[in-house]
């Protein structure tokens, strides 16, 4: 299913965030062609009276002037150069970026204005920007988080139908690390009964270590209203034996109980201790060959 792209200018680029570990976010696109069944943004879409079901992701807004607006906002005397998170609500390296290159233009603005930033993405297309990420890393703190919650092919294909294979993301991670860019793996979201087993998590940690991940962290699924109904519909079709369990666990709540969340995070911490990190990469002075970059972007 191909998305329809709507080219629309924006009035503002930076979004002030509350209740998170960061204060500012940036999303060059609105809507996401990845169509992940567990995407927590569906909850926000429902609250805004927009489609949160299978229609979400069919239409993507392209903020064609976002880099120019961002530059204006970063030029204000009141800007305090706080960290900006790119991709908190919609993937900055979804297929549209291959054409519009808005994320790349925003990285240049952040670099120009000495503003640290953190990227969250499931898109191997990020390696096309190795050059600007290297330049930014020489001036400000930069981190790239490759979202890889599982390496299981069936689980990936079923829950992330519009994304690139997880092992392509690991290859992209290796290229970023070899280029001297701080990058790691976000195991997000972990799905109870589907990707929270020790074996499943160990496979991801091992892959991340082999690719030279600078960090590994995990987050648990967030099934707020809007996301919950959509995810449960797909769960009933693909893993019907898990539905009753999810309905019980998430009855009246959006997150797993605290004890369950703690147990999963403790398991990840143990795996990170048991599976050794590889030796640090020696950073390259130049980006990898263009042919290799294009291959990984497929």
- Digits of tens for pLDDT over the chain (298 positions)? 678 899 999 999 999 998 888 999 999 999 999 999 999 878 666 766 776 667 777 889 999 999 999 999 999 999 999 999 999 999 999 999 999 999 999 999 999 999 999 999 999 999 999 999 999 999 999 999 999 999 999 999 999 999 999 999 999 999 999 999 999 999 999 999 999 999 999 999 999 999 999 999 999 999 999 999 999 999 999 999 999 999 999 999 999 999 999 999 999 999 999 998 876 655 544 444 433 333 332 2
Q: What is the pLDDT of residue 283?
A: 53
Residue (of 85, 110, 89) closest to 21 by Cα position? 85
SS (H, E, C) the chain: CCCEEEECCCCCCEEECCCCCCCEEECCEECCCCCCCCCCHHHHHHHCCCCCCCCCCCEEEECCCHHHHHHHHHCCCCCCCCCEEECCCCCCCCCHHHHHCHHHHHHHHHHHCCCCEEEEECCHHHHHHHHHHHHHHCCCCEEEEEECCCCCHHHHHHHCCCCCCHHHHHHHHHHHHHCCCCEEEEEEEECCCCCCCHHHHHHHHHHHHHCCCCCEEEEECCCCCCHHHHHHHHHHHHCHHHHHHHHHHCCCCCCCCHHHHHHHHHHHHHHHHHCCCCCCCCCCCCCCCHHHHHHHCC
Q: List, in order of start, the domains of the chain with CATH numbers.
A: 4-278 (3.20.20.70)
The strands making up 29-30's β-sheet, listed across from edge to edge, are 4-7, 59-62, 29-30
Burial class from Cβ neighbours inside 10 Å (0-12, 13-18, 19+) for residue 285 reads exposed
* pTM strictly above 0.85: yes
Residue (of 139, 264, 136) closest to 189 by Cα position? 264
Among all chains, which residue has been given the structure tokens 């160990």? 202
Among all chains, which residue has been given the structure tokens 């919609």? 90
Residues 40 and 225: their CA atoms lie apart, in Å, by: 9
Residue (of 175, 164, 137) closest to 293 by Cα position? 175
**Those residues with Cβ within 8 angstroms of residue 239's Cβ, 6 or more apart along the chain or in another chain:** 193, 194
Q: What is the pLDDT of residue 288?
A: 42
């Amino acid at each position: 299913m191909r998305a329809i792209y709507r080219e629309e200018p924006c009035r503002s680029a930076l979004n002030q965030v509350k209740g998170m570990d960061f204060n500012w976010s940036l999303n060059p696109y609105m809507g996401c062609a990845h169509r992940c069944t567990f995407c927590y943004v569906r909850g926000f879409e429902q609250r805004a009276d927009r489609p949160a079901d299978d229609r979400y992701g069919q239409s993507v807004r392209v903020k064609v002037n976002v880099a120019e607006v961002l530059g204006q906002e970063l030029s204000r005397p009141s800007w305090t150069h706080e960290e900006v998170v790119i991709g908190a609500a919609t993937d900055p390296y979804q297929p549209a970026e291959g054409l519009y290159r808005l994320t790349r233009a925003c990285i240049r603005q952040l670099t120009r204005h000495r503003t640290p930033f953190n990227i969250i993405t499931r898109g191997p297309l990020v390696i096309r920007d190795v050059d600007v990420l290297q330049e930014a890393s020489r001036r400000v703190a930069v981190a790239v988080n490759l979202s890889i919650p599982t390496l299981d092919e069936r689980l990936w294909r079923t829950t992330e139908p519009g994304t690139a294979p997880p092992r392509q993301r690991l290859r992209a991670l290796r290229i970023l690390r070899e280029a001297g860019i701080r990058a790691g793996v976000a195991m997000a979201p972990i799905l109870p009964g589907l990707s929270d087993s020790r074996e499943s998590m160990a496979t991801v940690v091992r892959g991340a270590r082999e690719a030279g991940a600078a960090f590994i962290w995990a987050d648990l699924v967030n099934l707020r209203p809007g996301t919950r109904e959509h995810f449960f519909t797909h769960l009933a079709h693909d893993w019907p034996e898990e539905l009753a369990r999810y309905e019980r666990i998430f009855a009246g709540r959006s997150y797993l109980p605290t004890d369950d969340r703690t147990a999963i995070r403790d398991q990840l911490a143990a795996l990170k201790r048991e599976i050794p990190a590889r030796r640090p990469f020696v950073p390259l002075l130049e980006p990898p060959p263009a042919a290799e970059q294009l291959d990984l972007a497929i």
